[in-house]
C-alpha cells in the first residue's frame, strides 16, 4: 500500500511570506502528526490531528497551524515566515497500533 506522501519536497520562501505543506497519510490511518526537524534539535512535535480534530499540540507559536480533512489528508500552514523556520517538516500517520509511518518530509528554506 502507498506510504505517507508529503508535498512539496522542497520549498524556498521569503521572510514574511506564508506557506502550506500537505500530507496524505496511509490509507485507513486517521491520525496525522507534524514534526519540525532542525540540525541538533531532533524532532520537535508540532501538532496531531485525529478525525479532523486537533488532538495534541506542541509548543510552537500561533503562526503554525494545521487542519485535517475528512479523507484524513492534512495541511500545515506557517504564516509570517522567519529565517528560523527553515527546517525539514515531517508528517507521520498512525493507525490503530502505536507505530508511526513518516513521509520523506518537506525541506523548507526561508531566505
Partner 1 sequence: DQQVKQNSPSLSVQEGRISILNCDYTNSMFDYFLWYKKYPAEGPTFLISISSIKDKNEDGRFTVFLNKSAKHLSLHIVPSQPGDSAVYFCAAKDDSNYQLIWGAGTKLIIKP
Instruction: Examine residue 61 and tell whether it contacts partner 1 (CB under 8 A).
Output: no
CA distance between the termini of the chain: 37
Instruction: Examine residue 104 and tell whether it contacts partner 1 (CB under 8 A).
Output: yes
Which of 110, 96, 93, 106 minimizes the C-alpha distance to 32?
Answer: 93
| Near partner 1 by CB under 8 A: residue from 17, 18, 27, 56 | 56
Do 10 and 106 touch, CB atoms closer than 8 A? yes
Instruction: Examine residue 72 and tell whether it contacts partner 1 (CB under 8 A).
Output: no
Instruction: Examine residue 85 and tell whether it contacts partner 1 (CB under 8 A).
Output: no
Which of 102, 89, 103, 107 minimizes the C-alpha distance to 5?
Answer: 103
Where along the sequence are the contacts to partner 1 (CB under 8 A)?
Answer: 4, 6, 31, 33, 35, 40-43, 45, 48, 50, 55-56, 58, 88, 90-92, 98-105, 107
Amino acid at each position: 500500500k502507498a506510504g505517507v506522501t508529503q508535498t512539496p519536497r522542497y520549498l524556498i520562501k521569503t521572510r514574511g511570506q506564508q506557506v502550506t505543506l500537505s500530507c496524505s497519510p496511509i490509507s485507513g490511518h486517521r491520525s496525522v502528526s507534524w514534526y519540525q526537524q532542525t540540525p541538533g534539535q531532533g524532532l520537535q512535535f508540532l501538532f496531531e490531528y485525529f478525525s479532523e480534530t486537533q488532538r495534541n499540540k506542541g509548543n510552537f507559536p500561533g503562526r503554525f497551524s494545521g487542519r485535517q480533512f475528512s479523507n484524513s489528508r492534512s495541511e500545515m500552514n506557517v504564516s509570517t515566515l522567519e529565517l528560523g523556520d527553515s527546517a525539514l517538516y515531517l508528517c507521520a500517520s498512525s493507525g490503530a497500533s502505536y507505530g508511526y509511518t513518516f513521509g520523506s518530509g518537506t525541506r523548507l528554506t526561508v531566505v
